Amino acid sequence: MYSLLFAVFKRLDPELTHHWGMLVIQLAGLPVIRKFLRRRYAPDPSLAVRALGHDFGSPVGLAAGFDKNAVAVRGFYALGFDHVEVGTVTALAQPGNPKPRLFRLPTDHALINRMGFNNDGAEVVATRLAALRHWGGELPIIGVNIGKSRATDIAGATADYVTSATLLAPHADYLVVNVSSPNTPGLRGLQEVSSLKPLLKAVQAAAAGTPLLVKISPDLDDQAVTDIAQVVTDLDLAGIIATNTTILRDNLATPAAVVAGIGEGGLSGAPVSEASVRVLALLRQTLARDKAVISVGGVFTGQEVKQRLDAGASLVQAYTGFVYRGPLFAALLTRELSEALSGASPRA
């Protein structure tokens, strides 16, 4: 059914269809609908894991970027995601980059985006998360991904991140410092150890005990990944999210002229899988086992989730697969993961 719908949706503007999809997911979070869906699509209890000081119903979560403003957290939980990372949130509300800024590459099972951290700002998102907590009921583990406001220059980046952390950490189960998006000028330069270490130290203090991770790029060389792992160890942070989108355009099936016509942006989906796995393996060689590594990038099936877990991932996140496999994506992943772990043949 979804393949038929997608054949229609792919003719429409990707950001418009994302907006429509979010409205449907918000409806899925309404009490009666949520109860019905969660009963049907909750993961098998055997998939429960513990990480970051929390109990997760499964290792499968939604990566940052889908629910930028924490408006559909309950809906994603109803559909089977047991952790949802909202954001990226910035200290200042901002509209993001000019449209069009989201593009599908169906042949490659990929997306290119240059959204530019469009979001309602840390104060509004903090209020929204506080209301979620206040009204109670079942919730997924909620991570909050924070980034630098575009209006803030690099010299003021630390204060900008600290503002967001101060507002959002009290309402987050874990906090993520995003220094790896390619869509905010100068942001990736903050992955340099000389900039990253004082930044993370300041945010760690502002987080006041909320587990803190840093999200890194798949385009870093081995030495840079190792250096960041050492920073995480030195500061005793909770871990690393590996990885963000890539700026590379290697080995795509989509015609080069089409890709060139799209222009700049971060590439996600199947093409980033190999780099994401490479970084995961390297981190597991360099980080202590008590440090979490959340693997994200090119995850489409439960078998791929198992492969990331076998490679040492603490948790696994997905994003682009949700676009291509449809609203029951999380339920499909956890069902396929259960089958892969049991050795059963996957169902069609």
Chain segment 199-233, per-residue pLDDT in tens: 999 999 999 999 999 999 999 999 999 999 999 99
The model's confidence at residue 8, banded by pLDDT at 50, 70 and 90, is low
DSSP 182: T
Chain segment 117-135, per-residue pLDDT in tens: 999 999 999 999 999 999 9
Helices marked H in 169-209 — which ranges? 193-207
Catalytic member of 58, 149, 181, 273:
181
2-342, CATH topology level: TIM Barrel (3.20.20)
Q: What is the pLDDT of residue 7?
A: 53
User: Residue 279: enclosing H or E segment and its boundaries?
Assistant: helix 273-286
| Residues 121, 147 contacting (CB under 8 angstroms) | no
Tokens of 230: 């050492």
Q: What is the mean pLDDT of the chain?
A: 93
| Residues 81, 60 contacting (CB under 8 angstroms) | yes
The model's confidence at residue 14, banded by pLDDT at 50, 70 and 90, is confident
Residue 181 annotated in active site: yes
